[in-house]
Amino acid sequence: MASFFFQQILNLSVFAIVFKLVAPVILAAIGGLFCGKVGVMNIGLEGAMLVSAFFSIVVNALTGSWMLGILAGCGASILLCLMLAFFTFKYKAHHIVTGFAINTFASAMTIFLLQTFFGSSGSYQPEGVAMIPVVDIPVIENIPVLSVISGHSLIVWIAFLSVVLCSLVFYKTPYGAHLIAVGENVQAARSVGIDEMKIKYSAFIICGVLCGISGAFLSTGATSMFVRDMTAGNGFIALAVISLGNARPYGVLRGGLIFGLANAVAILIETYPGLSVPSQFIQAIPYAVTILMLAVHMLQNNRRMITPAKG
């Protein structure tokens, strides 16, 4: 088995898998960061991704346009995020409870629509889906080592770009300063004329857009079908990645890559010939690694808090 993995690393196939797997998690996590900056942990990331995955492939199949599919997915995702924001800010509902309710609603709604309109409770695989295009970099794709960064979906590049843009917005723009001010001290933000509700709702809209792109990638980028509850916990993994990254954009990138690498390793183990290990154990590897890394991260943070400062 060791030689098998070494061969996969040498031909860089593992890294190509990582880039594909990490994109939806990073997008959802960056969206969650915006909500976190205004003081809300958006548990509804999973549901927002799921409705986007459903509506993007339906509209894609009807129109033959991957772009319209993404826009439809983003629209559905934004509505779900705004629903969470409305109940949280308007009626003071607890955002954790509301987030779980949103996830349950999204799962039930997609199953209902799948059964009602397409006569299936498990999957939907229409013909003529326009896949999100792949980006081939002309010169780099012919260079042996660097070719690993070519030939990936457009959404993969959008995911990495979102990390850079998020960092610039948070730390280099007035809007980012307003986000942080509203999240850390809303009274102080009000005193300098910041419209707190406008900032809060805008953060949820941005989150909806990013989760929408993430969900659309799952059904029309990574595959060409919708499967019941196909997000498979990626929204919750995104929340864990935010914590692993100390709620910072480049920390989110690092945490996402750890999860993506663990997921890629699990896929390679499944493809190993003659392996008798149950697939359920192998599929649990990335989630177990994420939980382990999260536990280590929390222990390190607690140790820093209780360690007395020197000098």
- Domain limits, the chain: 15-124+152-306
**Among 43-47, 75-79, 210-214, 295-299, which is the least confidently predicted range?**
295-299
The pLDDT value recorded for residue 13 is 63
The pLDDT value recorded for residue 307 is 63
Residue 10: which pLDDT band, with cuts at 50, 70 and 90? Answer: very low
pLDDT in tens, 103-157: 999 999 999 999 999 888 788 999 889 999 988 877 766 666 666 777 788 999 9
CATH match for 15-124+152-306 among 1.25.40, 3.40.50, 2.60.120, 1.10.3470: 1.10.3470
Residue type, 295: A
The pLDDT value recorded for residue 311 is 41
3 state DSSP class of 247: coil
Q: What mean pLDDT do residues 242-264 have?
A: 88
Beta-ladder partners of 227: 123
The pLDDT value recorded for residue 79 is 96
CA geometry: angle 297, 210, 55, nearest 5 deg = 125
- Does pLDDT of 309 surpass 80? no
More confident of the two residues 123 and 226: 226
Identify the residue whose tokens are 């860089």. Answer: 12
More confident of the two residues 274 and 225: 225
Cβ neighbours for 209, distance < 8 A, ≥ 6 positions apart:
31, 74, 77, 78
Q: Where are the alpha helices (DSSP H) in the chain?
A: 2-10, 13-37, 45-63, 66-89, 95-118, 154-172, 174-184, 186-191, 196-220, 234-244, 249-270, 279-283, 285-306
Backbone angles phi, psi at 194, to 5 degrees: -80, 130
The pLDDT value recorded for residue 300 is 75
**Mean pLDDT of the chain, nearest integer:** 87
Percent of all residues in the chain with a pLDDT value above 90, rounded to a whole number: 57
The pLDDT value recorded for residue 9 is 52
- Does pLDDT of 308 surpass 60? no
The pLDDT value recorded for residue 258 is 86
pLDDT in tens, 172-196: 999 999 999 999 988 988 988 899 9
The pLDDT value recorded for residue 273 is 66
**Among 91-95, 150-154, 247-251, which is the least confidently predicted range?**
150-154
The pLDDT value recorded for residue 147 is 65
The pLDDT value recorded for residue 232 is 86
